[in-house]
């Protein structure tokens, strides 16, 4: 296959095309266009192998909360590698980083929790939560209570089970997902697109809670086991829930004894302006899944935090069988756990929540000031240090562009030219989830560069007669 014109035979780009298959990538287009090869990072910026500098508006994949350089975390990893580079947690084995990190997470949990179980990614964490719910209901004598409800446009990961919870078409098509009829999806809590004419956010939330209850009744309350929700929907388009939504949803779940799993993989550790997204939206979950900012993404680690009710059921089941037959070689890996522990200490020292509240308020205002009123912008939304600017082909009807226009790739390419790494999401949303260490001047530069990228795309679309303006 011929490499891109700018890729020399032995360049990083050519070697990548020859040997690497990328996630979330059009493989045919990649073979023509090639990669952006990132070689180093410092603070909130990264550099490619051509020396070009970029502001990382997405913190990588919503995850590099402390940016792309920390000697302190590197030193902790090095010291732990010298002391105990690996040990497992199977068959009642343990180690100090595993114990210490678990204690820290229980202390910081948004509501009373009992135990912590570890995996390596958010996908594995949600997959584990599903297995725990099934195991729990078998253990307490409810073998029919196995169905799981998530939302359309939710993102809960990409393993076969977590991908079945995810509510995005691209994660289902050609993968034969969901894997069974145990996985059910209800409406997206996005008032901009889902609200009826004249319907308030509160009335919209009431309608969605009614839909949830009707779904449980239709399926049979004795069969519905769990409800999964991100406090703020991330990869589906950064959807902030409408007012009163979670209060009304939780009332329905309690009525029918349905476990609530809060997917804090993106929202956890300060992103929404509280330590947990659960605190921002007054959620009291039975299970919390978290990852990403748990270690500032310096090393892979995720956690499943469970309350005592769930733990007691799992413990009874394991006593009956003789084991809880689930786990990963790297569950609670000592080096990852040590780095995660140090990450939480850094959050405490920097007073992370107050920092995010201050800088996040500035970011939300800067996004609105720059993008509201733009002829291609339908909605600017967000909370804390996560936000989105949604583009529309027609503001009056709130109609998005046809997928063939490829707004997301256009924005990403224009952003790269302007020195900002952006990500396009469903509904043509341009997402912002920068490192939490960003300062106000960083935010201003990020928004300025993103604005220039959108202006460049607007010119492209007008030239191609793809807009109404």
Q: Is the pLDDT of residue 7 over 70?
A: no
Reported CATH class of domain 72-349: alpha beta
Q: Is the pLDDT of residue 9 over 70?
A: no
Contact 112, 307 (CB under 8 A): yes
- DSSP for 91-110, written as a single string: GG---HHHHHHHHHHHHH-S
Q: Which residue has the tokens 């302007």?
A: 418
Name the residue among 172, 162, 207 with its Cα closest to residue 188: 207
What pLDDT score was predicted for residue 234? 97
Three-state DSSP class for 225? strand
* Average pLDDT across the chain, whole number: 96
Backbone phi and psi for residue 458, each to the nearest 5 degrees, phi listed first: -60, -45
* Mean pLDDT (whole number) for 14-33: 96
* Mean pLDDT (whole number) for 245-257: 98
pTM more than 0.85: yes
Contact 213, 170 (CB under 8 A): no
> How far is 322 from 309, CA to CA, in rounded Å?
20
Q: Tell me the pairing of strands 377-383 and 224-229.
A: unpaired
Q: Is the pLDDT of residue 356 over 90?
A: yes
Q: Is the pLDDT of residue 2 over 70?
A: no
In order of 65, 69, 137, 291, 307, the CA distances from 299 in angstroms are: 12, 13, 33, 10, 26
- Per-domain residue ranges of the chain: 36-69+351-463, 72-349
* Predicted confidence (pLDDT) per residue in 265-297, tens digit: 999 999 999 999 999 999 999 999 999 999 999
Query: pLDDT exceeding 70 applies to what percent of the chain?
Result: 97
**Confidence at 256, pLDDT banded by 50, 70, 90:** very high
* Predicted confidence (pLDDT) per residue in 181-213, tens digit: 999 999 999 999 999 999 999 999 999 999 999
Q: Is the pLDDT of residue 373 over 80?
A: yes
* Mean pLDDT (whole number) for 391-416: 93
Q: Give strand pairing partners of 88.
A: none
* Mean pLDDT (whole number) for 43-59: 98
**Confidence at 466, pLDDT banded by 50, 70, 90:** confident
What pLDDT score was predicted for residue 5? 52
Q: Give the angle subtended at the CA of 332 by the CAs of 327 and 337, to the nearest 5°.
A: 165
What pLDDT score was predicted for residue 422? 96
What pLDDT score was predicted for residue 427? 86
Token digits of residue 201: 């956010």
What pLDDT score was predicted for residue 8? 65
What pLDDT score was predicted for residue 1? 46
Q: Is the pLDDT of residue 103 over 90?
A: yes
For the chain, counts of helices (H) and of strands (E): 16, 15
Reported CATH class of domain 36-69+351-463: alpha beta
* Mean pLDDT (whole number) for 453-458: 96
In order of 134, 225, 314, 429, the CA distances from 141 in angstroms are: 11, 13, 12, 45
**Confidence at 10, pLDDT banded by 50, 70, 90:** confident
């Amino acid at each position: 296959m011929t490499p891109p014109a700018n890729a020399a035979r032995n360049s990083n780009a050519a070697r990548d095309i020859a040997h690497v298959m990328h996630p979330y990538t059009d493989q045919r287009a990649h073979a023509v266009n090639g990669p952006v090869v990132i070689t180093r990072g410092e603070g909130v910026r990264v550099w490619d192998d051509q020396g070009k500098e970029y502001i990382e508006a997405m913190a990588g994949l919503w995850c590099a909360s402390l940016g792309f350089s920390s000697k302190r975390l590197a030193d902790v990893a090095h010291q732990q590698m010298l002391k105990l580079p690996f040990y497992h947690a199977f068959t009642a084995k343990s180690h100090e980083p595993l114990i210490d990190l678990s204690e820290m997470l229980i202390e910081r949990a948004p509501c009373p929790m009992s135990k912590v179980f570890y995996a390596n990614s958010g996908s594995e964490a949600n997959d584990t939560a599903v297995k725990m719910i099934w195991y729990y209901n078998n253990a307490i004598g409810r073998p029919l209570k196995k169905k799981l409800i998530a939302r359309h446009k939710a993102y809960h990961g990409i393993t076969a089970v977590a991908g079945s919870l995810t509510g995005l078409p691209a994660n289902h098509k050609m993968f034969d997902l969901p894997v069974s009829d145990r996985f059910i999806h209800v409406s997206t809590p996005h008032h901009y697109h889902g609200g009826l004419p004249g319907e308030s956010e509160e009335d919209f939330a009431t309608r969605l809670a009614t839909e949830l209850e009707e779904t449980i009744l239709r399926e049979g309350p004795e069969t519905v086991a769990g409800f999964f929700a991100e406090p703020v929907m991330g990869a589906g388009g950064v959807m902030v829930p409408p007012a009163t939504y979670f209060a009304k949803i939780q009332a329905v779940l309690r009525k029918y004894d349905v476990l609530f799993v809060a997917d804090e993989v993106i929202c956890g550790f300060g992103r929404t302006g509280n330590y947990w997204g659960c605190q921002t939206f007054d959620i009291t979950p039975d299970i919390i899944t978290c990852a990403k900012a748990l270690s500032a993404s310096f090393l892979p680690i995720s956690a499943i935090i469970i309350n005592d009710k769930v733990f007691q059921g799992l413990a009874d089941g394991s006593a009956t069988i003789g084991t809880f037959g689930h786990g990963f070689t790297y569950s609670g890996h000592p080096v990852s756990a040590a780095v995660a522990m140090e990450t939480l200490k850094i959050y405490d020292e920097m007073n992370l929540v107050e920092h995010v509240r201050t800088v996040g308020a500035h970011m939300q205002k800067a996004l609105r000031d720059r993008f509201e009123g733009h002829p291609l912008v339908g909605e600017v939304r967000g909370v804390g240090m996560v936000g989105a600017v949604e583009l529309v082909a027609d503001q009056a009807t709130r109609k998005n562009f046809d997928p063939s226009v490829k707004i997301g790739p256009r924005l990403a390419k224009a952003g790269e030219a302007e020195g900002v790494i952006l990500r396009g999401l469903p509904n043509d949303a341009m997402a912002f989830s920068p490192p939490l260490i960003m300062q106000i001047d960083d935010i201003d530069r990020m928004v300025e560069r993103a604005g220039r990228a959108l202006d460049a795309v607007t010119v492209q679309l007008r030239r191609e007669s793809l807009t109404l303006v």
